[in-house]
Amino acid sequence: MVQFDWGEMPSRPRIGGVERRVYALVASLPFCGAQTAHFSFDMTLEAFLEGHVRVFDWLGGVPRECVYDNLRTAVAKRDSRQVVRWNPRFLHLRGHYAFHSTACTPQTPREKGSVEGAVRYLKTGFWPARRFQTLSELDRVYGDWRDRVAHRRRHATGQFVVSDRLIEDRAGLRPLPPTSFDFSLCRTVRVPTDGYLRHGACFYRAPIELIHQRVELHASRDQVWVCWRGQEIVRYPRSYRPGLWIPEPKMRPEPPPPPAMLVAADAPHIQAPELAHYAELCA
């Protein structure tokens, strides 16, 4: 069994000159006390689904049951009879990996105590004084801390080493499906005249041959790519700096000024008066 929950990190790092909130989708395994996390700048459905794919890949298998704290990205609605209606895209993920999902009873924190403790441990044991420039760098730093510190500790209750019990937990997982789940955001857009497609606060250029054509714009946490008629055309690293154009647009050079037309003009002919005439004028 794996428990999932979102956690907001207490401080806001400055990325690209802008302070940003960082969220972590934490997955905790109650049997062994192990944990892992997927970091993002938002708590969207795509980040939620991507976190599941990364967690299952890290585990090397699929658990039989996942428990959630009534997250809106998983639970679409819960009526008065406590009937849970799951998010449609989450149902696609659940069907792809074939695991059972359970939503905790509202206002019952004891049902998810393991993941709440994992979130608390992440905020106090890992996050303070961390510095990073990208989320990929944060993933590497966290993975090193998780493997060297968090999973080598001795469990406070069971007095066992977490990494040793994690091996037993992984042995009971079911194998991963042959293909990974497509968690990316996908929307159909028409390529404008300048060729730049907007996603978030940035602009990404499609090939000039696709101007005025309908394409599929895909986006994940780290990448943005364009597909046309089922084929990937171009892929870019995703940027979180507002107003950035990728690649930078090239302005057309100004045409050279026309050559100046020189008109030949005859020099004026001035004839000085005779001295006799000048004397008559002065008389």
Distances (CA, A) of 111 to 17, 62, 69, 117, 261: 40, 21, 9, 12, 88
For residues 254 and 246, which has the higher predicted lDDT (pLDDT)?
A: 246
Contact between residue 235 and residue 249 where contact means Cβ atoms under 8 Å apart? no
Cis peptide bond prior to 247, omega within 30° of 0: yes
Q: What is the CA radius of gyration of the chain?
A: 33
Contact between residue 61 and residue 170 where contact means Cβ atoms under 8 Å apart? yes
With 0-12 CB in 10 A as exposed, 13-18 as middle and 19+ as buried, what is 70? middle
Supply the pLDDT for residue 74. 86
Taking the C-alpha atoms of residue 235 and residue 232, their distance in angstroms, rounded to an integer, is 8
- Of 109-113, 152-156, 208-212, which one has max mean pLDDT? 208-212
Supply the pLDDT for residue 139. 93
Q: What does the pLDDT average to over 192-205?
A: 91
With 0-12 CB in 10 A as exposed, 13-18 as middle and 19+ as buried, what is 107? exposed
Please tell me the pTM assigned to this model.
Answer: 0.82
Supply the pLDDT for residue 279. 65
HSE on the CB side for 270, CA within 13 Å?
3
Count CB neighbours of 98 within 10 A. Answer: 10
Distances (CA, A) of 261 to 46, 98, 254, 266, 268: 64, 80, 21, 16, 21
Contact between residue 5 and residue 112 where contact means Cβ atoms under 8 Å apart? yes
232 pLDDT above the threshold of 70 = yes
91-143 tens-digit pLDDT: 999 999 999 998 888 777 777 888 888 999 999 999 988 888 889 999 999 99
- Residue 129: phi, psi to the nearest 5? 65, 25
Supply the pLDDT for residue 48. 94
Residue environment code for 229-257, b if the CB has 16+ CB neighbours within 10 A, otherwise e: eeeeeeebebbbeeeeebeeeeeeeeeee
Q: At what angle do helices 88-97 and 45-59 cross, to 10 degrees?
A: 10
Supply the pLDDT for residue 179. 92
17-33 tens-digit pLDDT: 778 899 999 999 988 88
